[in-house]
Amino acid sequence: MKLWPKDLFAPAVAVIVLALGVLVGAIFFVASSANSAARAREEAVVANGVNVRIALIAQTVWLHVAEENVGPRLGPRPDLPWVHAHLGAPLNLAHGFEAAFALGADNAPFYAMDHGRLAGSEAFLPFSPAAAPLIASVRQSEADGRRDPQEHTAFAAPIQASAAASVGGHVYVLTATLANGSEHAGRASIIVTAEEIDDAFLYGLDDGLLLDNLQLREGNAGELPGDARVHLTDAAGAPVATLTWVPQTPGEALLQNTLPPVLVLIAALAILGWAIYRRGRQTARALVAEKAHATHLAYHDALTGLPNRLLLADRLGRAVEDLRRRTTPFAVHCIDLDRFKDVNDTFGHQAGDEVIQLAALRITSACRQSDTIARLGGDEFAVVQIDADLDGAARLAERLVALLSEPMELSVGRVHIGASVGVSLLSEGAIDAQECLRQADLALYRVKEKGRGNFCFFEPEMDATIRFRKALEADLRVAIEKNQFYMAYQPQVDGRGKMIGVEALLRWRHPTRSALSPAVFIPVAEEAGLIDALGFFTLRRTFEDSRRWPGLRVAVNISATQLRAKDFAARLAALVEEADIDPACFELEITEGVLLGDDPRTHETLRRIREIGFRLALDDFGTGYSSLSYLHRYPIDKIKIDRSFVINLGLDKEADAIVAAIVKLARALNLTCIAEGVETEEQRLRLSLAGCSDMQGFLLGKPAGVEEIDDRLASAEISAKRTGAS
Ligand code: C2E
Ligand code: CA
Ligand code: CA
């Protein structure tokens, strides 16, 4: 199962991480904004409180100056004790003012109160610089009021100016107040007061905010990070002192409340993401492994684990490429096990599988690491031998044949398998992978044709032969379907020239090709699995034709492949029933190859054939393996001396001797004997002299149609009657 495409995983994770980052960032931003807002509000409240406090101080001074009607007492001859008793002392005692001064029209001090006591004018000196701008401001307002007298009455707003000031290490609120009614020479006196900003000043400044660690620092204490601050400024607006405190941080509460659940959420998401990632990775790994397995299966044979045809094609392609670019020669070996089908049929597929596996091991043991060994299917293997010359290729092929010919120990017992190897050596030229394999296959075909258990190199002439055979095979299939076959019969005569029998020979009425000998197309039919159909056609047709010649012995050729079929004898018996013929009138011709190997099944089949009533003739005698022991062991009735001996009679002394020996042997074994391929009178004479009187050949009659045999039989009967009559 795939959760999501692999290439979407990273972007998905990135988006989740980004989203979580934005969320956390937003929380911190909101928290920090809440903190800033709270601090700004506190600062506004405190600044307002400071202003209110300064205004209250100014109002307190004004109340004393206005209510006590201080102005006249400050006139040209000021009443200093009264001023002290009604203004200076109460300001100190009742309101905590540290200092108060009265300045004349010339702005010079004429009264001073210092910490409640009457003091000399010099007490004003330290306050003078800070008070100067306030005094100037008050004087300006006074002058403005005189220019517009309607506005300036005793009940008009007080003319005052206040500011913070730092004097002698203390911070004060200085207030300058114009004392109405004290005018002389057009200018009134000015009362200057100083109230230190102390704990009492600060008390309640926060308007119930309960500020934490509220402190007054001299100067511009702006460097304390995290603290809230409000500056107290002088008349020019420059900071004189700073109130600082630790502001409230509602954002932190927000963080405390929201962060844990968010962090839990993030952790959960992280765990989920990790789980998904792991799952995805496992899935991906499983997919990769699955794919690798599938790829292995697709390119390897399940039984042996060897590369299959597909992988071989790939390796061959590379070998071809190397040949083209670096002229590295290579050889392709096509290996076919010789008696595999027999083992498979006799002992079953389990044994067959064991043979294939053992063969794979042996082939592998003969090859180098760089060679590719493949199973092409069934009992066929191929080897691509890299960097091989003619000698090297021959050595490997020879070794393969030898190794595979050694007996194999299977669970069912010991079996003998052989192998045929076709080799194609590629050392130059442009060629494709398919062609390499085809050439090796053609060479293999040739080995099998020549009798297996060997190897052979590809030669260009093989091509034409094989092409011809392939075409023939295709034609044969059509011919069987369209019934293009018929039988010819060749007479067999005795020593007196009497036709004693005929041999049925298959003929192909091919629509375009000229006449083809069964010697050519029968082996192709055997190879193509068509011999069964052809063989039974021959038998059926011959049985039918033979009804025309009652009492005449008819010989039928049976190929080795036909005979090897399991149910041959049974089907033959069924055919005898069906055609209603007398098997005693028939002779089945088999070749020595059939007897080769001393197979128990062949024994059994031949025994059954004899049981049904057929006679058996050994065809082409003397050409094959000619093991005389066969003649003892098999139920043979007749031997046919091969044409190759007959043809040499009179030409080669040995031929005469061999023929004589065969005739003697036949007699000794109580077998009848016939010579085939008799073409000349001399051959006939010599055969007669050797003791072989029955003959077959062009001299005595060519293979002919049924009518010709009819005619011949009829004329023989007439002459016999004549002879009998005369
Ligand atoms: P064979 O059984 O040895 O048949 C004899 C072959 O020799 C026949 O060739 C025949 O035409 C030829 N022949 C006969 N007398 C002479 C002669 O004096 N000189 C020469 N040069 N040749 C002669 P054919 O008909 O071409 O058959 C060839 C082979 O095909 C046969 O050899 C036989 O092995 C096989 N064959 C023929 N008919 C059948 C059949 O119906 N079934 C099977 N399984 N094989 C068949
Ligand atoms: Ca024959
Ligand atoms: Ca023959």
- pLDDT tens digits for 436-473? 898 999 999 889 888 889 999 998 888 888 788 888 99
What is the Cα–Cα distance from 228 to 219, expressed in whole angstroms?
15
Name the closest-CA residue to atom 37, ligand 1: 505
Ligand 2 centroid, distance to 576 Cα (angstroms): 21
Ligand 3 centroid, distance to 675 Cα (angstroms): 9
- Cβ partners under 8 Å of residue 707, min gap 6: none
pLDDT value of position 391: 94
Q: What burial class does residue 304 get, using C-beta atoms within 10 Å of its C-beta: 0-12 exposed, 13-18 middle, 19+ buried?
A: buried
Return the ligand 1 atom nearest residue 538 CA. Answer: 41
Ligand 3 centroid, distance to 442 Cα (angstroms): 29
What is the Cα–Cα distance from 524 to 508, expressed in whole angstroms?
14
> Which amino acid is present at 316?
L
Average pLDDT of span 375-391: 93
Q: Which two tokens stand for residue 249?
A: 């941080």
Ligand 1 centroid, distance to 680 Cα (angstroms): 18
DSSP H helix total and E strand total for the chain: 24, 24
Q: Which two tokens stand for residue 268?
A: 């959960």
β-sheet bridge partners, residue 502: 491, 554
0.75 exceeded by pTM: no
Ligand 2 centroid, distance to 588 Cα (angstroms): 9
Cα pseudo-dihedral 121, 122, 126, 132, rounded to 10: 50
pLDDT value of position 150: 57
Q: Is the Cα dihedral 397, 400, 402, 405 positive or negative? A: negative
Average pLDDT of span 98-122: 92
Distances in Å between the Cα of 146 and the Cα atoms of 132, 184, 191, 552 are 21, 13, 19, 175
pLDDT value of position 626: 57
Q: What share of the chain is helix, strand, coil (3-state, %, to 5)?
A: 55, 20, 25
How remote is the C-alpha of 254 from its chain's centroid?
A: 52
* E strand spans, 40-115: 99-103, 109-114
Nearest by Cα to 695 from 711, 681, 712, 714: 681
Determine the residue of 487, 490, 505 to mutate for testing ligand 1's pocket, defined as the one with the most ligand atoms within 8 A of the Cβ atom. 505
Name the closest-CA residue to atom 31, ligand 1: 519
Ligand 1 centroid, distance to 519 Cα (angstroms): 7
Name the closest-CA residue to atom 46, ligand 1: 557
Ligand nearest to the CA of 698: 1
- Within 6 A (CB) of ligand 1 lie 490, 504-506, 517-519, 522, 535, 538, 557-559, 589, 619-620, 676-679, 697-698, 703
Long-range contacts of 215-222 (CB under 8 A, 24+ apart): 215/243, 215/244, 215/245, 216/171, 216/241, 216/242, 216/243, 217/241, 217/242, 217/243, 217/244, 218/166, 218/169, 218/171, 219/166
Name the closest-CA residue to atom 8, ligand 1: 505
User: For residue 682, is pLDDT > 90?
Assistant: yes
pLDDT value of position 440: 94
Least confident of 91-100, 109-118, 256-265: 256-265
Q: State the first-to-last Cα distance of the chain, in angstroms, to the nearest integer.
A: 104
Name the closest-CA residue to atom 3, ligand 1: 620
Query: For the segment 422-432, what is each residue's pLDDT rounded down to a tens digit?
Result: 999 988 776 78
Query: Does 148 or 693 have the greater pLDDT score?
Result: 693
Ligand 3 centroid, distance to 617 Cα (angstroms): 10
Ligand nearest to the CA of 533: 1
Return the ligand 1 atom nearest residue 678 CA. Answer: 18
Nearest by Cα to 505 from 352, 313, 676, 685: 676
Name the closest-CA residue to atom 13, ligand 1: 677
* E strand spans, 458-498: 485-493
Name the closest-CA residue to atom 43, ligand 1: 557
Banded pLDDT at 2 (limits 50, 70, 90): very low
pLDDT value of position 344: 85
User: For residue 538, is pLDDT > 90?
Assistant: yes
Return the ligand 1 atom nearest residue 679 CA. Answer: 18
How remote is the C-alpha of 233 from its chain's centroid?
A: 79
Determine the residue of 557, 642, 646, 687 to mutate for testing ligand 1's pocket, defined as the one with the most ligand atoms within 8 A of the Cβ atom. 557
User: For residue 515, is pLDDT > 90?
Assistant: no
Query: For the segment 686-699, what is each residue's pLDDT rounded down to a tens digit?
Result: 999 999 999 999 99
Percent of the chain residues past pLDDT 70, beyond the cut? 95
Ligand 1 centroid, distance to 564 Cα (angstroms): 21
DSSP tag of 145: H
Ligand nearest to the CA of 623: 3
pLDDT value of position 155: 54
Ligand 3 centroid, distance to 432 Cα (angstroms): 44
Residue list, CB under 5 A from ion ligand 2: 557, 589, 619
Name the closest-CA residue to atom 12, ligand 1: 677
Banded pLDDT at 1 (limits 50, 70, 90): very low
Judged by DSSP in three states, 346 sits in: helix
DSSP tag of 127: G
Ligand nearest to the CA of 518: 1
Ligand 3 centroid, distance to 251 Cα (angstroms): 116
Name the closest-CA residue to atom 23, ligand 1: 677
Helical packing angle, 433-449 and 309-326, nearest 10°: 110
Judged by DSSP in three states, 487 sits in: strand
Helix or strand run (H / E) with residue 557:
strand 553-557
Ligand 2 centroid, distance to 712 Cα (angstroms): 21
For the chain, give the mean pLDDT: 88
DSSP tag of 121: G
Q: How many CB atoms are closer than 10 A to CB 584? A: 11
Average pLDDT of span 180-185: 79
Ligand nearest to the CA of 704: 1
Name the closest-CA residue to atom 45, ligand 1: 557
Ligand 2 centroid, distance to 634 Cα (angstroms): 18
Ligand nearest to the CA of 620: 3
C-beta of residue 158 within 8 angstroms of C-beta of residue 62: yes
Ligand 2 centroid, distance to 589 Cα (angstroms): 6
C-beta of residue 530 within 8 angstroms of C-beta of residue 583: no
Query: Does 527 or 477 have the greater pLDDT score?
Result: 477
User: For residue 174, is pLDDT > 70?
Assistant: yes
Return the ligand 1 atom nearest residue 591 CA. Answer: 34
Name the closest-CA residue to atom 28, ligand 1: 519
Query: For the segment 218-243, what is each residue's pLDDT rounded down to a tens digit?
Result: 877 766 677 888 888 888 888 888 88
User: For residue 306, is pLDDT > 50?
Assistant: yes
